[in-house]
Amino acid sequence: MPKRVLTTESGAPVADNQHSATAGVGGPLLLQDQHLLEKLARFNRERIPERVVHARGSGAYGYFEVTDDVTGFTHADFLAEVGKRTEVFLRFSTVADNLGGADAVRDPRGFAVKFYTEEGNYDLVGNNTPVFFIKDPLKFPDFIHSQKRDPFTGKQEPDNVWDFWAHAPEATHQVTWLMGDRGIPASYRHMNGYGSHTYQWTNAQGEAFFVKYHFKTNQGIRCLSSEQAAEIAGKDPNSHQTDLLQAIERGVNPSWTLHVQIMPAADAADYRFNPFDLTKVWPHRDYPLQRVGRLVLDRNPDNVFAEVEQAAFSPNNFVPGIGPSPDKMLQGRLFAYADAHRYRLGVNHTQLAVNAPKATTADNYGRDGLMATNAYGRERKNYEPNSYDGPAETGRPLSAPLAVTGHTGTHEAPAHTKDDDFFQAGELYRLMSDEEKSRLVANIAGGLSQVSREDVVEKNLAHFHAADADYGKRVEEAVRALRED
């Protein structure tokens, strides 16, 4: 069988791929060496802007299989019958560090699932924690700036991290999660995933429900101590990537069981706290977990750049039967995620293989732009309505409408009877064993004791005191002991 011929990008055969063209033996290079210039120019452009958050990631393909009937709550087609399977792509990630950061670090983990459904792609963008640090997207850029590398020192600074949290009491719940035993997962396979936000489901009768997603790992929860993580990160910065890749290659396919909490839409207005507040969970005694199906990963990407780095998840990619809620953080992300991908990958990023629909075909009037592959000509008009049998609207909304009243303005969220920034953080603390509490306190004190300003330390201590008296006392004593050393 003849060897394949190496060519330039224009298809011309390459005569010599070992030596550049020169002006005589040992002479300077020639500008006319098109093959050399093409290779260097492409090499200079091989990288694209990395994600500002969730830069360091891993991913895999698999399927989602429905195991329980949920048609009373949503008419989403991919959830329409028990046994139905839908192809998925799942991307895991750390949040704060850059693309070259280590996997085994104390940081939330992204858990983003793309369902390639017959009604279009549905993107569920979440984390491995059910809550987050803030509840308003206006604060998100400031929060991330405080967690990123300082512009002067070039590294993450405890002063910045804890100063932001000192001014964000609503972060106390997530800080308690992050500094606790689940703050460093042993691998992506051994952690849960959560939709985190509140979403809306609508059934065939038009009834609306608010839902929260819980992906429970079937491998069991496994986490690392700070000491174990430091050792692993030093030996293999790619530890989570290595584990996921090798497990699937061995046929040990990780899986998660999807449960949802379901709240009738009418309950939301009078619930004891704001059900759309991302810093809070819904107690299971109020809205128990209901099983939906099973998510399995069984195939590694062939090209990490093409399929993991270029994977684009947008929480505004809904399908019929699923829609947004008034969750302010979700509302902000409906714009921000898609806009980030337009910047990083271009306006036609949805045509890339990992992002394009697989079980249906995108059919719209988007045309042209950088790297367009759908530049239709004479056979397709690019306006609507038209008289040429172009795609037309259905008139059927994807989800139920959300009622709005009042005047425009920069309002605080409506107050509910039990809205509080600290109560759930205290409940989480009180659920822990004494050993878990000791590790939590040590993790918090290790960072907070490094803060240079006493007023920032005091503000943070006040948050832990407000969550639980014992919690605050133990953190304060541990911080004082470390600062006096």
Buried b (16+ CB within 10 A) or exposed e, 14-35: eeeeeeeeeeeeeeeeeeebeb
Report whether 341 contacts 348 (CB < 8 A): no
Decide: 309 and 48 in contact? Cβ < 8 Å.
yes
Catalytic one of 35, 54, 75, 259 = 54
The type of residue at 166 is A
From 127, 192, 274, 348, the catalytic residue:
127
Amino acid 389 reads: D
Tokens of 341: 């991908």
Measured in residues, the chain has a length of 485
- What distance in Å separates the CA atoms of residue 103 and residue 92, rounded to the nearest whole number? 10
Angle, in degrees to the nearest 10, between helices 423-431 and 454-467: 70
**Residue 212 half-sphere exposure toward CB, CA atoms < 13 A:** 27
Task: Give the Cα separation of 65 and 68 in Å (integer).
Answer: 9
Rounded to 5, what percent of the chain is helix, strand, coil? 30, 15, 50
- From residue 396, give the alpha-carbon distance in Å to each of 77, 91, 322, 336, 392: 14, 31, 13, 26, 12
Alpha-carbon torsion angle 144, 200, 125, 413, nearest 10: 0
Please state, in angstroms and rounded to a whole number, the distance separating the CA atoms of residues 126 and 111: 5
Active site residue 127: yes
Look up tokens 């009738």; give the residue. 264
Cα dihedral 57→61→62→68 (10° resolution): 50
Q: Which amino acid is at 472?
A: G
Its sign, for the CA torsion 49, 54, 56, 62, is: negative
Instruction: Give the integer Cα–Cα distance in Å for 187 and 181.
Output: 14
Rounded-to-integer distance, Cα 92 and Cα 308, Å: 9
Distance of CA 406 to the CA centre of its chain: 33
**C-alpha–C-alpha distance, residues 290 and 11, integer Å:** 56
360: Cβ contacts below 8 Å, ≥ 6 apart: 117, 118, 119, 120
CA distances from 400 to 186, 256, 268 (A): 40, 29, 15
- Can you tell me whether residue 291 is helix, strand or coil? strand
Catalytic positions: 54, 127
